[in-house]
Amino acid sequence: MGHYIEVEPNVNVYVEDVGEGTPIIFIHGWPVSHKMFEYQQTELPKHGYRFIGIDLRGYGKSDAPWSGYDYDTMAADIHAVVTKLELTDAALAGFSMGGPIAIRYLSKYKENPISKLILLGAAAPIFTQRDEYPHGLEKSGVDDIISNLKADRQAMLKDFGGMFFHQEMSDAFNDWFLNLGLTATPHATIHSAEALRDEDGRVDLASVHVPTLILHGKHDEICPFEFTSFMNEGIAESTVVPFENSGHGLVFEEKEKVNHEIVKFLKG
């Protein structure tokens, strides 16, 4: 079932809540929605898990205020949802931009019900290059993305989808995936790109004190596989599982392996 939760006055986020058992909260990436986890939503409840997919503010069915697309505010939104649902002993899974937001949530809210963390193609600890962090896009590359969003958002998102996958995807799938991105509010798409460009989550990693599974495509052109070495080094109890046949879209390209690794990790 789906329902709305008020995360701040007059701002509601949409939550898809399916199945019973141990809760797994899924945080999507830029610029899509919880619907990107279709193949987890259809599979994990069979194994006794409760799928909870949050549409971040500005995305999917959630409200889209003008501001609040920084990681701190997004983490506060997750906190509001988790508190309202009164979850216990839950797992938290973050894909791409959802990864550093999930980590920021654990860093900011020490009293939380999260017992395990899953990072999928995470844009963590930083999406853009910095001193002593030579991986990812240059900030100017994100500036170009933002300019293209303002000039022709539809074409930019189609090109972005083309970078997403290592495997050849069907035309029908590509149309569906593009539509997920087009459903997002334009200003949220731009403001979140600014957050991806500017946020630095390196100090957050040491705040993760739960077992962490890092799943990442070896051919990722958006969040390079090199990111995993920083996450693995910074998160004390973490394990990296490489996906040899995936780009950024590992939840689609090797969905059976993703689900297998998640279930194995949660049952372990």
Q: What are the residue numbers of the active site?
A: 96, 220, 248
Please tell me the distance from the alpha carbon of residue 266 to that of residue 268, in angstroms, as a whole number: 5
What the block records as the tokens of 74 is 């997004």
Which amino acid belongs to residue 168?
E
- With a CB cutoff of 8 Å and minimum separation 6, the contacts of 252 are 39, 165, 169, 173
DSSP for the chain, written as a single string: -EEEEEEETTEEEEEEEESSSEEEEEE--TT--GGGGHHHHTTGGGGTEEEEEE--TTSTTS---SS--SHHHHHHHHHHHHHHHT--SEEEEEETTHHHHHHHHHHH-SS--EEEEEEES---S-SB-BTTB--SB-HHHHHHHHHHHHHHHHHHHHHHHHHH-SS---HHHHHHHHHHHHHS-HHHHHHHHHHHHH---GGGGGG--S-EEEEEETT-SSS-TTHHHHHHHHSTTEEEEEETT-SS-HHHHTHHHHHHHHHHHHH-
What the block records as the tokens of 195 is 């957050």
